[in-house]
Structure 1
Amino acid sequence: MDEQRSTVTVPVGDARLTADVTLPAQPVGVVLFAHGSGSSRHSPRNVAVARTLNDSGLGTVLADLLTPAEDEIDARTAELRFDIGLLASRLVGIVDWLGVERPAGDVPIGLFGASTGAAAALVAAASRADRVRAVVSRGGRPDLAGNALTQVRAPTLLLVGGSDEEVLTLNERAVAELGPVGEVRVVAGATHLFEESGTLEQVAAEAATWFVTHLRR
């Protein structure tokens, strides 16, 4: 499949964020990734999921939500990775950039969040309900999105490992807050990082189907 790859700098407030953009020739939609605790746009799990989305006709944007200086602080303190407000504001800024610069054209936007990034994705989806049309969470912490859960309008799929019991309980509580737009699916035998054979591939396939279904015009 012909696709275009580029690394771009996205201005968000005072920050300049680096993002890897991959676009099929005629994308169905574009999915912005929100990485999890202590991770980056190079997260091998998110890169693997993004490849499956690309193969399904979806554009992807893998962005660093922290600047290099912030990364250094976070490496010492681990505090910024849990700053959901900051991470969500960065996602909102990139969503707005996608709407203005339109590297993928005027296609619907989806958000894929992992771990704490899932909470940021849900806050961003609530803030940009007119632009964000679908959300997928992988082993996410949607509970950290707080009151934003009741304001999410986009169809939201929460994928959780069957052996990730504490996070599964948090997701089941969160889906009650999401109401009819939310759905929990359990990946049998998977732990929090989906390291077990075939489990990440299942996540990628489920995510691709969800986004294609809900982003296709």
Structure 2
Amino acid sequence: MSSLLTTEPVQLGTLALPGDLVVPPRPTGLVMFVHGSGSGRLSPRNRWVAEALHQHHLATLLFDLLTEEEAQDRRMVFDIDLLGHRVVEAIHWAGHHPDLADLPLGLLGASTGAAAALVAAAERPARVAAVVSRGGRPDLAMDSLARVQAATLLIVGGRDTGVLALNRQALRQLHAPKRLEVVPDAGHLFEEPGALGSVAVFASSWFEQYLGCGKHA
């Protein structure tokens, strides 16, 4: 499928944040990636998962939540409300893109980006249908979790014990369809052999179920 993918560099929001949009033939959904602290749209892990999603006819958008200057300020890197607002701006942008406006929307967040994704999902309940958190910190969005209507999947490495405990706490605050998947013997970054593959399988299945992608022939 790679030769059939359409790749488009884009600029989002009032700050013209750089992003990379990839659209497969006949896309059945859009997954927006929300990276965590110290990362960006060039994250090799997110790009690897994005390539896996393309095989399921899902378009992907990876973008930087902060400008280069902002990313040097650790306070902004961990400002979940600000990051959530940037995701909402990206959702607004996608809603006006002719190839994306009618596609069901999912968010895939990693680390602190998962909290930003959940904040955005709470702010745009009619637009965001599904959220997947990879090694995320949903506890940082605790005040927003009860308002999230999107089906939410939390994926955590079995050896990432501190984050796993925080995810279990956050799971109890979610009222939408929800599930916690633990990848055995995986750490926070899912660097172990096969660990990121498990993330891709879980995420693809979740988005297929809740974005309606399973209907694709």
Per the TM alignment, residue 92 of structure 1 is displaced from its structure 2 partner at its CA by 0.2
Amino acid at match of 2:27: P
Amino acid at match of 1:177: Q
Q: Which of residues 101, 104, 129 in structure 1 aligns to 2:97?
A: 101
User: Is 1:142 aligned to 2:138, yes or no?
Assistant: yes
Aligned equivalents of 1:125, 1:165: Cα separation in 2 = 26
User: Is 1:27 aligned to 2:24, yes or no?
Assistant: no
Per the TM alignment, residue 8 of structure 1 is displaced from its structure 2 partner at its CA by 0.6
Number of equivalenced pairs: 211
Q: TM-score, normalised by structure 1?
A: 0.94
Q: CA RMSD in A?
A: 1.1
User: Is 1:18 aligned to 2:18, yes or no?
Assistant: yes
| Superposed counterparts of 1:37-76, under 5 Å | 37-71=37-71, 73-74=72-73
Q: Is the 8 A contact 1:23 1:104 kept in 2?
A: no
Aligned equivalents of 1:67, 1:214: Cα separation in 2 = 32
Runs of 4+ in structure 1 deviating by more than 3 angstroms, as ranges, are: none
Aligned equivalents of 1:180, 1:19: Cα separation in 2 = 29
Q: TM-score, normalised by structure 2?
A: 0.94
Q: Give CA-to-partner distance per residue, 1:45-89, whole Å, 9 cap, x none.
A: 000010000111100000000012212x33xxx222110011000
Amino acid at match of 2:182: V
Q: Which has the higher helix share?
A: 1
Q: Is the 8 A contact 2:142 2:173 kept in 1?
A: no
Per the TM alignment, residue 103 of structure 1 is displaced from its structure 2 partner at its CA by 3.1
Identity across aligned pairs (percent)? 50
Unaligned runs of 5+ in 2: none
Aligned equivalents of 2:103, 2:176: Cα separation in 1 = 24
Unaligned runs of 5+ in 1: none
| Superposed counterparts of 1:1-217, under 5 Å | 1=1, 2-12=4-14, 15-71=15-71, 73-74=72-73, 78-216=74-212
